[in-house]
Structure 1
Amino acid sequence: MADAQKSPTRRRKPVQARSQQTVAAILEAAARIFERGSATTNAIARLAGVSIGSLYEYFPNKDAILESLVDRHVADAVARLQRELRAHPPQSTPLDQGVRRLVALMLELHADRPGLHRTLVGWAMGMPAVQRRLLEAEGRMREPIVAWLRAHPEVRVPDVTVAGRVVTQGTDALVHRYVEDDEGIEPDVFETEVTRLWVGYLQGG
């Protein structure tokens, strides 16, 4: 593993379309392999259809690939969250409906390639740079949620900023455990119960 105090940055940034396609192929290959567990740069290059030399032009080591996968995962999550919130304006969306969509989205994000998600979280524990990025990502996701809650007429908690943190982190924890072991609970039932939990809390119950 790379030095835990340093961020394993790319060697070269892809500018041309062909370079961008190469990087995209490497990251997709890495995601598919990490979904199954550990990986080597040789295996990633082979699946991506590029030479190991080409891989090292863009990524100095495996940690750099993992960091880029985190960036890609975070960017996708934030973009999907923002689209979801725009599609359900707080002034015209019942609180239970909006919260349920948030829970469902978190479930979708965790359930999409759960093996890869576990790998990213596990490796991040030993990589301070990646941990910082994940914390920053949580903040980026929390901001639009707080804004949505603040504008919703049904929300009656005394501190919406704190409530946004509780709901975001709480949902993430509950969904993470559910994906690890659903104990036979259907997704629809899980979403309903978590929604009830947060709606009661947000309404000051």
Structure 2
Amino acid sequence: MPIPKPAPPARRSGLIYHHPKAQEYDRATQSRCCTPPSDGPLIWHSYWYDKHPAILEIVAWLKELPQTAQERALSQLEVLFEGASQGTLNPRDPGEPIKAIDQGQDFYELRWTFNDFDYPEKLFRQYHAEPTESDVENLLVTSHAHFKKVDGLTKQQISGLQTEQMQQAVNRFNFGSKSRWGLEKDSAEPLHPLDLIEDLLYG
């Protein structure tokens, strides 16, 4: 007599569980930073307004660090930027290194937490767009960066302050679009954000 097969376990419901951030993750994976490019690494170009208070705050914090800590902080940013240009970022990784942001166009936020120093942690945020025009389609144009403010603030205040920074990024990007973010000038070359930071640090 054949042995009957066990019945499949009953399903508790017909619902399929979706991670609360699933849609957010899906939007982030549309970034070129999440897919290795077929024709070489993507190229960073910084179009930050380098006199903006948020940029100056980042530079001032780096200047206050001892040299070894400063070098470590810069190397951590280098790893983040390199991962983006190689298309290896994963929004589901710890720390969620990349997110899509809602600013009326395709903008992405790179994220890093500096928390291994003898200082209060800093939440680094950088915003970039990914132009689709054929002459710049390999560019990642970053138009702003800042430290996210959270201490002593309500969720509404945190959100409001960050929205202001995001809008600065969008405005700056749009301002530079006609000149290809300064790249239409004679002999202009893309400026990596780390090169800009180091120019401000040591220049």
- Work out whether the TM-score is over 0.5: no
| Shorter-chain TM-score range | under 0.3
TM normalised by structure 2 equals 0.25
Task: Determine which structure has the larger helix proportion and give its number.
Answer: 1
TM normalised by structure 1 equals 0.24
Task: Determine which structure has the larger strand proportion and give its number.
Answer: 2
- Greater Rg by CA: 2
